[in-house]
Copies of this chain bind each other. A is one copy, B any other.
Amino acid sequence: MVSKQQKQVVLKDYVRGYPKESDFELRSSDTNCVLSNGSRAVLLKNLCLACDPYMRHRMSDQVSHPGTIIKSYSPGSVLVGYGVCKVIQSTHPGFQEGDFVWGLTGWEEYTVIPNPERLNKISHTGVPLSYYTGNSSAEVKLYLTSEPARVPGCWFTGTGGIAAYVGFYNLCSPKAGETVYVSSACGGVGQLVGQFAKMMGCYVVGSASTEEKVNLSKTKFGFDDAFNYKEHDLAAALKRYFPGGIDIYFDNVGGKMLDEVIMHMKPHGRIAACGMISQYNLEEPEGIHNMFNVVVKSLEIKGFVETDFKHIYPEYLEFAIRHLQEGKLVYVEDIAEGLENASSALIGVFHGRNVGKKVVRVASG
């Protein structure tokens, strides 16, 4: 096999403001798929790709985020993100044809990975392989991607289970009876935080951008209550749902939401700063004006990157699988079919069009 004619999703140039269809190109090209004898590489068939909000930062010129771990995409190049893939050729002794792996891969049908050590082999004992790659239902049990101990990363790190788990349990130190507020309540992280909070015996309220998601939060994920933040005055809503204040805020959106929530925090409240999707497409981030409340209320705001918590993976895996098996945990994905729909799927995430974690299925295995 020398080359493959394949579809690829290319970032045409740095993005300003919200990403739009014209920022991307679905191109068809011949890709060199030769693995030379001296190499230690693999050729992957990409099966599923995660639409992760953090990818927006990589679409900006790097000068906008100095000193961070974020590296910009190169204009004209294929997008890169977390995916689940099948090894179809290998010159690396650690990988064999037929292996399934997850890790950073290209938004294309086939990808050559010259340093596959950074990939993670999927050990799917007791879990059908299809669970890793998604299915046609919009609802997929958590164990579709439930082996972060063996498969740390993929949807369950960047924006998923591990982030929800360490952000809630480790950073926020929740106690039974505490009040918890979760923004993006139906997102890949928020839906899990809501369920974790209920398991802990907390009172948990979420917000989302549509009535469909508000209802899903209550009926599917078990939030005590939820509201459409686009339809309600935020200050009034927070006062109504948290008359005594908020102990824990799991922040997925940042900006004005964070600014207002700070006003409603109880003394000694904790804020997990997981993501700030409301800010990613702005030229100038919104200002947080209520920071003095952090002082007088003894608040903690803790940012985190889930890759710092690899030592927690085994604990999380045990936790997640047990609760899945007991039927106490569900996970909802929103699957787009085919690379033809990949850019619109990703764009939709920044407009809240996804209901659950957004995933692109490239191939079925």
Segment at the interface with B among A119-127, A139-147, A215-223, A272-280: A272-280
A297 within 8 Å of B (CB atoms): yes
Q: Please determine whether A263 and B67 come into contact, CB atoms closer than 8 angstroms.
A: yes
Q: Please determine whether B295 and A273 come into contact, CB atoms closer than 8 angstroms.
A: yes
Using A291-B273, A291-B276, A292-B279 as known contacts, say yes or no to A308 and B298 having CB atoms under 8 A apart: yes
A68 within 8 Å of B (CB atoms): yes
A299 within 8 Å of B (CB atoms): yes
Each complex incorporates copies of this chain amounting to 2
A327 within 8 Å of B (CB atoms): no
Segment at the interface with B among A2-10, A14-22, A281-289: A281-289
A304 within 8 Å of B (CB atoms): yes
Within 8 A of B (CB), among A53-89: 57, 65-70
Using A67-B245, A67-B263, A245-B67 as known contacts, say yes or no to A295 and B284 having CB atoms under 8 A apart: no
A313 to chain B, nearest CB (A): 17
Residues of B with C-beta under 8 A to A293:
65, 67-68, 303
Q: Please determine whether A295 and B304 come into contact, CB atoms closer than 8 angstroms.
A: yes
Q: Please determine whether B289 and A284 come into contact, CB atoms closer than 8 angstroms.
A: yes
Q: Please determine whether A295 and B274 come into contact, CB atoms closer than 8 angstroms.
A: yes
A294 within 8 Å of B (CB atoms): yes
Q: Please determine whether B300 and A267 come into contact, CB atoms closer than 8 angstroms.
A: no
A34 within 8 Å of B (CB atoms): no
| Chain B, residue nearest A296 (CB) | B68
Q: Which of A263, A291, A299 counts the most chain B CB atoms within 10 A?
A: A291
A171 to chain B, nearest CB (A): 9
A101 within 8 Å of B (CB atoms): no
A interface residue numbers (CB < 8 A to B): 57, 65-70, 245, 254, 258, 263-268, 273-276, 279, 284-305, 308
Given contacts A274-B295, A285-B291, 16 further A-B contacts (CB under 8 A): A65-B292, A65-B293, A67-B263, A67-B297, A69-B296, A273-B291, A286-B289, A288-B289, A293-B303, A294-B303, A295-B303, A297-B303, A298-B308, A299-B302, A300-B303, A301-B301
